[in-house]
Amino acid sequence: LLLLLDFNPFDNLLCILLGISFTVWFTLLLVFIIVPAIFGVSFGIRRLYMKTLLKIFEWATHRIERGAKDNNHLLYKPYSNAIIAKEPTSLEEEINEIRRRGSNRDLDSASEFEMSDIFYFCRRGVESIMDDEVTKRFSAEELESWNLLTRSNYNFQHISLRLTVLWGLGVVIRYGFLLPLRVTLAFTGVGLLVVLTSIIGFLPNGSENKPKNGGICVANHTSPIDVIILASDGCYAMVGQIHGGLMGVIQKSMVKACPHIWFERSEVKDRHLVAKRLSDHVEDTTKLPILIFPEGTCINNTSVMMFKKGSFEIGSTVYPVAIKYDPRFGDAFWNSSQFGMVNYLLRMMSSWAIVCSVWYLPPMTREEGEDAVKFASRVKAAIARQGGLVDLLWDGGLKRGKVKDTFKEEQQKLYSKMLVGTQEDRSRS
C-alpha cells in the first residue's frame, strides 16, 4: 500500500494496462503459434492468409495495368535470364565470319592477324556487360506484379485512391502487427535455443539422435534463414565461421548440444585442415550429418552458382536439397554488400511472409573416375533443375572479388591456337 501511494495514479494505471497487454499478447502467441508449432498442428490460418494476399496482389496488379493504360504509361518489366539471344558458336567461326564480311576473305587465306579480329573481343565484352550473369544475381529479384511493398517495384500506390488506402493499410499491418509479432517470436526462439541447447549439453548422449547414414547435406544458399528452415525438418551439424556478438552466443550454445564445426577465417585458407575436420566428422557415425552451402555466399533466389569442390572431395554420400523462395510475399535474399544483418532482419520481419519450397533429392555419390569438380557440378545441376533455378558456372566469390586471370587467358589461348592452326594449314598446303 505504501508503494502504491508513492506512484502517480496515471502511471499506476499505465503499468497495469501494459502488463495486461503483454499478458494477452504473449498468451495469444503461445496458444496460436508456439504450442501448435511444437505439436505440428495447423489451424489453416497461414493457408488462408496466403490465398487472401494472392487475391489482393492480383487485384492490385490489374488496377496498376488499367491505370497505366489510361495514362499511356509503360509498365516496368524486369530483366530476363537471356537479354542477348545468340547461337552457340566457336571463336574461330565467329572471327572467320567477321573477316569474311570485312574483306571477303576466308580464314585460311587471311594473314596471321587482322585488325578486324578485335571487333570480336569488343563485341563479346559489350555483350558481357549488357548480359552480366554474375552481377544481376546479387540484386533483388524484380516482379512484374506489385505486392504492395514499395521496395520491390515502382511506387504504384499513387495510381488511385483505393490503391493508396490499401497500401497504407498494408503498412499498418506489416509494421504494427507482423513486425512486433515476429520480433517477439525471434527473441523467444533465440532465448529458448540458448537455454535448451545449454541444458541438452549436460545430458548424456543417447542413441535416439544417431543418424542412420553418415553424409553431407548440401543446398543452394539464398538467406541465413536457410539453416532454420532445414533444421526445423531435421537435425544437422553446422559448418561456418566463428562470429562475435549475438551470433557468437548462439554458436557457443549450439556447440554444447551438437559437435558443430566452427573455424576462424584464417583457418579457411588451410583447405587440408578444414577437409580433415570434415572427413573426421563424417566418419564418426555418432555425429549428425553436416549441412553445407557450397556456394559460399547468398544468391538472389534465381540461380545456383559454382559449388566449391572442398565439400565433394571427402568421398562421402551427398544429400542434395533444393530451396526456392516465393518472391510474391517478400524478398528473402540477403544482399550482405548492401544491408547489415539488423537491416536485413527488419526487412524480413516487415514483409508479408516468407514462403519457400524445399525438395530433398535422392542421395548422390562420386562415380568411378569422376573428380570433385565434376561431382560438384552434377549435384549443382540436379539442385538447379529441381528448384527451377538457372545453373551458372560462375564463382559466387565474384560478388566481392575480381575476375580471375585464367578466364582472360583462356580466350587468349583459344585465339592463339586458332592462329597457329591457320599457319600449320597453310604450310601443309
For 296-355, the pLDDT digits (tens) are 889 989 999 999 888 888 878 899 999 999 988 988 998 888 888 888 889 889 999 999
Residue 272, pLDDT > 80, answer no
**Domain span including residue 342:** 206-401
Residue 3, pLDDT > 60, answer no
Neighbours of 394 (CB within 10 A): 16
For residue 265, is it within any domain? yes
Instruction: Return the residue matching grid coordinates 498468451.
Output: 27
| Shared-domain flag, residues 318 and 388 | yes
| Shared-domain flag, residues 294 and 243 | yes
Contact 112, 422 (CB under 8 A): yes
Residue 357, pLDDT > 90, answer yes
Residue 11, pLDDT > 70, answer no
| Shared-domain flag, residues 120 and 198 | no
Q: How far apart are CA 428 and CA 422, in angstroms?
A: 10
For residue 240, is it within any domain? yes
Confidence bin at 221 (pLDDT 50/70/90): very high
| Shared-domain flag, residues 128 and 156 | no
Q: How far apart are CA 116 and CA 113, in angstroms?
A: 9
For residue 415, is it within any domain? no
Which has more confidence, 213 or 408? Answer: 408
Q: What is residue 423's predicted lDDT score, i.e. its pLDDT?
A: 56
For residue 426, is it within any domain? no
CB contact set of 47 (below 8 Å; sequence gap of 6+):
none
For residue 425, is it within any domain? no
Q: What is the pTM of this model?
A: 0.64
| Shared-domain flag, residues 287 and 150 | no
Among 187, 204, 221, where does a domain finish? 204
Q: Tell me the per-residue pLDDT of 13-53, one tens digit each, with 9 for 90 and over.
A: 777 888 888 788 778 888 888 788 778 788 888 889 889 99
Contacts 24+ apart (CB under 8 A), 266-272: 268/241, 271/310
| Shared-domain flag, residues 213 and 229 | yes
Q: What is the number of domains present in the chain?
A: 4
| Shared-domain flag, residues 189 and 215 | no
Contact 398, 128 (CB under 8 A): no
For residue 243, is it within any domain? yes
| Shared-domain flag, residues 18 and 71 | no
Q: What is residue 103's predicted lDDT score, i.e. its pLDDT?
A: 61
26: cell is: 504473449
For residue 412, is it within any domain? no
Contact 278, 272 (CB under 8 A): no
Q: How far apart are CA 212 and CA 216, in angstroms?
A: 13
| Shared-domain flag, residues 70 and 25 | no
Q: Tell me the per-residue pLDDT of 68-123, one tens digit each, with 9 for 90 and over.
A: 677 665 555 554 444 445 566 777 777 777 777 666 555 454 456 677 777 777 77
CB contact set of 25 (below 8 Å; sequence gap of 6+):
184
| Shared-domain flag, residues 254 and 163 | no
| Shared-domain flag, residues 329 and 243 | yes
Q: What percent of the chain has pLDDT over 90?
A: 14
Which has more confidence, 207 or 251? Answer: 251
Which has more confidence, 234 or 157? Answer: 234
Average of per-residue pLDDT values in the chain: 78
| Shared-domain flag, residues 237 and 96 | no
